[in-house]
Each structure stands twice: as structure tokens, then as C-alpha cells.
Amino acid sequence: MTRKVVRRPARYALRPVGVIKSTLKSRRNAPRQGSEGAPDAWLEVRPSASAGLHRLQPGDEIIVITWFHHARRDVLQVRPRSDPRNPITGVFATRSPDRPNPLGLHPVVVRAIDGNRLHIGPIEAIDGTPVVDIKPVLR
């Protein structure tokens, strides 16, 4: 007799390594991309992860990966930029924050570093947005 093995989908636990402190307080007022007039903001890295910042320097270009904690995870298709003139499009062909795993990619410049706090920008993420990773831009 053979047994059918039912494999459950894997899940991985993301643990934020920091948080965005911004003057942008609500998603409604936030620009859609950093290049669209977004402000600079602070990225506060948790003390438990701050050793990971070693050798980052002002002027570095980095990619901040956030978790859009207000996003809808059950959305697979949208009209880009919420514009009714745009055709229905799969979320993987858009930058909509609504998507199964609402990760945000934010290319920014490091303006200054103060201990475990990075001054970065421009960035459209709102105040309180969890940060899950930081990577250098490769050239």
C-alpha cells in the first residue's frame, strides 16, 4: 500500500530588523514612489541587528526592503495606480503594495548614520513601516 504524502505549503517567519520613522503618516497621502516627491526619513535598526550595519557609510546607495503592514494580501489583480483608465493587471506586473507577500523595495541614499539610525531618502514608506532587510545596490 502506498501512502499519499500531502505537503503543506512552507511558511517563513519574517522578523523586522527595524522601522521607518517618517513625517508621512498615512498611506493615502504618501507618494507612490520615492522619486515622486517623497521625503527623507529615519530607519531605526533594532539594537539586536545593528551589528549588520558595520561599514555602511553616508553616500551609500542601498535597497531598503519593507513589509507593507497595511496592505491587502488577498489581492491578485489591480488597476495600476488605482486609476480606472488603467487595465486590470496582475499584481506581479505592478508595484501595488497589495499582493500576497507585501514586500516593498525602496532604493535610497544613506544621508547620515547616527548609531543604529540611518537617515535615508527619498522614501515613500509611511511612519511605522517595518523594515525586514537592507542591501547595497550593486554596480
Interface residues with a copy of itself (CB under 8 A) are 9-17, 33, 45-46, 49, 51-56, 60, 62-63, 65, 67, 69, 76-77, 87-95, 99-101, 103, 105, 130, 132-136, 138
Minimum CB distance to a copy of itself, residue 12 (Å): 4
Nearer to a copy of itself, 2 or 12 (CB): 12
Cell matching residue 136: 547595497
CA angle 56, 63, 115 (to 5 degrees): 35
Q: Is-contact 135 63, C-beta < 8 A?
A: yes
Nearer to a copy of itself, 24 or 134 (CB): 134
Nearer to a copy of itself, 77 or 111 (CB): 77
Q: Is-contact 102 86, C-beta < 8 A?
A: no
